[in-house]
Amino acid sequence: MAEHHLKKATWSWIVAPGARNTKRHSGIQYCPACLKNDVRPYFRIHWRFAWHTCCKVHGHALLDRCHACNSPVEYHRLEAEDELITVCATCKADLRTASSRGCVSDALKFQLVADDVLLNGIGTFQSSAMSISPWFELADYFVSLIRVAQRGENQTLSEFLKLIGVQLPMSPPMQPGNHLETLQTHDRERLLAALLPIMSVSKDKFDGALQKSNISKQGLAGHGLVLPAWIKNTSASLPRTLREKSTRLSARIDGPRPRYQVKRMMAKLQRKLDMAHR
Ligand SMILES: [Zn+2]
Ligand SMILES: [Zn+2]
């Protein structure tokens, strides 16, 4: 059940097992202490989750690079003669001998919350219950918003996030084209720590921050970002332009349409269906 949801809803939150894409910066994550304790070492499935940056058994930050040569860990590049899955595919150092620092506590807190959402099939945001998919959609959107603010081009956005309690990561901003699951563990760790206060914010505090910062439509839904439907539908304090847009849309859906418009819509739908069956 959970796995089915995971595949459908959180695909963009899974770290891919391969670094063929040159834009990709992350390797497969691991905890050296876990691998060391294994009779037969294996890479845990949850190390592939992009919201995992910490081993909760050992309290260590996960690693995704070789401690000796700094290459991303890619066990699929190992050859039969390597025999052990715990060696670096590039320099053959034993990953079990790597040392790791402690976790960033807010990143671990977010990780545990996201694990619960996945396990229970239900999450909460501003005290509303929601299923896995919209919850991760919101988290995804806010991560993007934090990354935009991190570039330092939008003062109002930074102010809005600060009012919610977000501390922008100190590390230099990452390439906007790189999705969360392609980032190195320590970059993701800092973003997820910054995300925790937004995902646990109360509705009053969130709406208050919207009003106080006087954030614009461009601030929330510009930069190629799409505002999640849940926020659009529930937040009374959204900039007027965003709310008006959705009101106009629903008015148009409710009312009768001229014949030419219906014809045009049918043609468009048909083209979409044709494309989907191709
Ligand atoms: Zn561990
Ligand atoms: Zn190496």
Q: Which of 114, 183, 177, 132 is nearest to 151 (CA)?
A: 177
Q: What does the block give as tokens for 119?
A: 């396990």
User: Considering the chain, what percentage of its residues have pLDDT values greater than 70?
Assistant: 77
Residues 7-54 have pLDDT tens digits of 444 556 777 655 554 445 678 999 999 999 999 999 998 998 999 999
Q: Which residue has the tokens 């919201």?
A: 51
Question: Helices marked H in the chain — which ranges?
Answer: 2-9, 32-37, 105-120, 132-150, 155-164, 185-199, 203-213, 217-221, 229-234, 240-254, 259-277
Lowest mean pLDDT among 25-39, 114-128, 213-227: 213-227
Q: What does the block give as tokens for 70?
A: 């700094």
Please check the confidence at residue 245 and state whether its pLDDT lies above 80. Answer: no
Give the separation between CA 33 and CA 144, rounded to whole angstroms: 32
List 130's β-bridge partners, or say none: 123
Question: 87 CA to middle of ligand 2, Å?
Answer: 8
Please check the confidence at residue 74 and state whether its pLDDT lies above 80. Answer: yes
Provide the pLDDT for residue 248: 45
Which H or E run contains 40?
A: none
Longest dimension (CA), the chain: 71
Provide the pLDDT for residue 32: 97
Give the separation between CA 3 and CA 39, rounded to whole angstroms: 27
Query: What is the 3-state secondary structure of 128-177?
Result: EEEEHHHHHHHHHHHHHHHHHHHCCCCHHHHHHHHHHCCCCCCCCCCCCC
Ligand index nearest the alpha carbon of residue 90: 2
Residues 79-100 have pLDDT tens digits of 888 778 899 999 999 999 999 9
Ligand index nearest the alpha carbon of residue 103: 1
List, as ranges, residues with CB under 5 A of the ion ligand 2.
66, 68-69, 71, 88, 90-91, 93
Question: 79 CA to middle of ligand 2, Å?
Answer: 15
Please check the confidence at residue 132 and state whether its pLDDT lies above 70. Answer: yes
Q: Give yes or no for a contact between 191 and 147, defined as CB atoms under 8 angstroms apart.
A: yes
Give the separation between CA 251 and CA 234, rounded to whole angstroms: 17
Question: 59 CA to middle of ligand 2, Å?
Answer: 24
Q: Give yes or no for a contact between 202 and 247, defined as CB atoms under 8 angstroms apart.
A: no
Residues 162-171 have pLDDT tens digits of 999 999 988 7
Question: 90 CA to middle of ligand 2, Å?
Answer: 5
Question: 30 CA to middle of ligand 1, Å?
Answer: 8
pLDDT band at 255 (very low <50, low <70, confident <90, very high): very low
User: Considering the chain, what percentage of its residues have pLDDT values greater than 90?
Assistant: 51
Ligand index nearest the alpha carbon of residue 41: 1
pLDDT band at 176 (very low <50, low <70, confident <90, very high): low
Lowest mean pLDDT among 57-61, 115-119, 150-154, 192-196: 150-154
Provide the pLDDT for residue 253: 40
